[in-house]
Amino acid sequence: MPDSALEADALLQRFQAVAEETRFRVVQILASGERCVCDLQADLGGAAQSRLSFHLKKLKDAGVVCDRRDGRWVYYSLVPETLEEMRAFLGEVKPREGWLPVMRSDEGCC
Amino acid sequence: MPDSALEADALLQRFQAVAEETRFRVVQILASGERCVCDLQADLGGAAQSRLSFHLKKLKDAGVVCDRRDGRWVYYSLVPETLEEMRAFLGEVKPREGWLPVMRSDEGCC
DNA sequence: CGTAAACATCAAATCACGTTGATGCGCTGC
DNA sequence: GCAGCGCATCAACGTGATTTGATGTTTACG
């Protein structure tokens, strides 16, 4: 499991992409399926178009969403593998093995 | 499943907490178990103490980590339920049901 | 063609967030 | 009690991210 620096950076970027109010809501909306930008704009309560476009680009650059053009419309949807990757990171927490502080009281830690 | 606004805000806060370089690394480190601040400081390559303290507070306020005092040392560890909650959000993506654009070509979307 | 819709891009202004260095607080050992 | 360690808090500052409004691009339609 070579948690290379590059991969870690990419993963961090994915989290940064999702960790913003507008983008977070976009992800929630896309969870139910593909949407075109104007639909998203409506669902978000009429956000400025350039603003939404800016955020969608962030999500796309991070690999969280992908887009597909159909006529004049561009449809955005989530990338399952990316979300799975993020879930995996949050799952790497393998505690509950009787973990207690490395050093006890009178030993100190550093 | 009442995805109340309050809960959504709290969840967003958790993502914002993790989506920062230093805090991201702290979470990675804590994945292997409890650590005191000075240990973390060392693991992070000698980060300024106040800086680390600032980030730990962010993580704590978001409910991502919890702290425990033992003598002069304070030990930090991850909160499994919080990570599970975040994983759940990323898992709410239930596509792959033959999902295709709501409207087809000549129908338009909005 | 000419126009309009749906998005993307860009530059300027604004704002949020993290960093730094100083200071405060609780605990321990002398 | 006093000094020192481990950690938290605070205010000033700087940087990078987001917003806004204008402009550009692609596609569709008459």
* pLDDT tens over chain A, length 110 residues: 555 777 889 999 999 999 999 999 999 999 999 999 999 999 999 889 999 999 999 999 999 999 999 999 999 999 999 999 999 999 987 644 444 444 444 455 66
B52-93 residue pLDDT tens: 999 999 999 999 999 999 999 999 999 999 999 999 999 987
Residues whose CB is below 7 A of strand D: A 20-22, 48-51, 54-55, 58, 69, 71-72, 108-110; B 36-38, 41, 49-50, 52-54, 56-57, 67, 72-74, 106
Pick the residue with more confidence: B24 or A5? B24
Strands, E assignment, A2-109? 35-36, 65-70, 73-78
The minimal CB distance from A86 to the residues B90, B94, B99 is found for: B90
Model confidence band, residue B104 (pLDDT cutoffs 50, 70, 90): very low
C-alpha span between A56 and A69 (Å, rounded)? 14
pTM above 0.85, yes or no: yes
Which helix or strand (DSSP H or E) is residue B78 part of? strand B73-78
| CA–C1' gap, A27 and D26, in angstroms | 26
Mutate to test the interface with B, among A30, A93, A105 (most CBs of B within 10 A): A93
Mutate to test the interface with B, among A3, A13, A15, A103 (most CBs of B within 10 A): A15
